[in-house]
Structure 1
Amino acid sequence: VPQGNLPGTTVRNDATRSVFEPAVDFAASGYRTRQVFYRSKDGTKVPMFIVSARDVKLDGRNPTILYGYGGFDITITPEFDPMLPVWLELGGVYAVPNLRGGGVYGEKWHHAGMLGNKQNVFNDFAWAAKYLIAQGYTSSKHLGIQGYSNGGLLTGASITERPSLFGAAYIGHGVLDMLRYQYFSGGALWAPEYGLSSNPKA
């Protein structure tokens, strides 16, 4: 089972003779991946994975990265990232909410975060941040947000709508020009997800 604190490994093992234990370069037993649920702005129950030290102090002072995507029916689940152990060893917390627009609950969940429903994605992300703060994982000044591509749109919209909620933001090749995105690269292929400024009813 993939987890945020263990690398994915392909092995050949005879389960009748031995039990496989993954070899990792850090003490994975000191960390955990939890799934929690929080309520978004409209009351929708949203799942989120939190990776942290097992003995994390809920004092509001942990540097935390909130990573989001929320689109194209893509489900983000815990997986090993080589940078994650470094972040954890430095006392960081890593959180990944399964925002509407993704596919965690099927096509209905996807549709709830696309086209005219895109604001739901931004709200889900902001309320994930509020949950982390309310539970004592972090505070606004210790909270950074991150997203790539569609997640970059999410990150850009989030710091525009609620700049005081986050202490830092990293936007990886984000889709930020929503009026003209369809004219660049493969942007025209994204119209079913975002719609078109030239045709508001599309």
Structure 2
Amino acid sequence: MSEGNPSSTPDRREDFVADLSRLVRAAGFTIRPLAGRVGEPKSTVADALRVGRWPRRDLVLKIVQACDGDRAEWAARWGRLNAADPPGKADPGRGTSPGSGAGTGARAGPGRRRLVIAGVLVAACLGAGGVGWTMAAHRTASSRPGSCQTATRHRIDRAGNLLDAEHRIIATTNTADVFYVTRPNAAPYTGRHYGRLERTGQWGYVDTAKLGPGTPACVS
């Protein structure tokens, strides 16, 4: 296997994350500089490189690009593993938990698991007094690939720059671009919002004075 390219042999999600960590080390990055390069918080990047966690596809591709890896191969590998073993899927190699059956190793089928999850959601919504809104929000978020973050959607009124956490310019912003803010007035800056530039898909910081009014949105 060459540095920067994933192995072609069958693997698991933990193999994927371990290989991603090796790619980062081979590129000479530590967490802080890598987080600045990809425009993500240090804790988010650290979690993405921790075996046992499953990183977002867009974050994986930003890390691979920063480390000069092959984005196409890593994207294909992430897709295969996510489809074969999506987060939250039971591991068929593990036995049943105590009290989960009659000791025969039988597991609850997909239909039963869906019923249990649906029952928990309905009970939670009834307790909160917001059945309709909560279930609608759940369906909307579930229909989007990857994770969905609460944000505000802004049009850029004046051109400027998208900066990373190290005060470096990573892109230019144009009038009428769309910018999704996920962290208002985000450190290490004052007067800059952190979020994603829709035109390029890059994450970074934009001068608040250059943004128009915001509307509620959800960004993955």
Classify the TM-score, shorter chain: under 0.3
TM-score of the aligned structures, taking structure 1 as reference length: 0.25
Indicate the structure with greater helix content.
2
Question: Which protein shows a greater Rg?
Answer: 2
